[in-house]
Amino acid sequence: MAYLDTNVIIAYCFPQDNNHRNAKSLITKLQELGVKELYHSPLTLVELYSYVSRNADILNIPEELRELIRTKEQRVRVIAEYCLSSLSSLITSVFIPIPRA
């Protein structure tokens, strides 16, 4: 089992990220090592949506698709769901409870 931090998921999905190659190579290595499930948590989703939302203006999709997506909120959803879907065959979603003080 391996837990993927948000930055690995995002770097994996965006070729323009400085660590895109590292993230791809890391996930390939994990697969080669026989790791069949990669985990993420609700915190990852919050950070992913937050990151995409902050950067929505610089993240493009083709005009053909963008025309159908009218609001910024919809665009954020498309890009965030794209990130999760592109890893969906690898990622298992799991709830990791936050310990109470």
Partner 1 sequence: MSAEVLTHGYEYLMPSHITFLNTLLSSIEQGYSEPTMLRSLGTNTTSLTFYSPASQEISLQRSWEGLYLIVRTTVANIVGRDVVRNAMIYSDPNYGLVMRLIVDLSAKEALELWLRLVEKFPYSRYGIVLGVRWTGENNVSEDELISYVVKIMITSGIEPVAKRALDVVGELREERGRG
Residue 81 contacts partner 1 per CB under 8 A:
yes
Amino acid identity at 96: I
Contact call for residue 86 and partner 1 (CB under 8 A): yes
Buried b (16+ CB within 10 A) or exposed e, 88-99: eebbeeeeeeee
Q: How far is CA 24 from CA 18, 19, 94, in A?
A: 12, 9, 22
Rg value, the chain, Cα:
15
Q: Which of 85, 92, 93, 96 forms a contact with partner 1 (CB under 8 A)? A: 85
Give the footprint of partner 1 on residues 8-47 (CB under 8 A).
Answer: 10-11, 13-19, 47
Distance between CA atoms of 83 and 20, rounded to whole angstroms? 13
Minimum CB separation from partner 1 for residue 32, in Å? 23
Residue 77 in the binding site for partner 1 (CB under 8 A) = yes
What residues make contact with partner 1 under the rule CB under 8 A?
6-7, 10-11, 13-19, 47, 50-51, 54-55, 58-65, 68-69, 74, 77-79, 81-82, 85-86
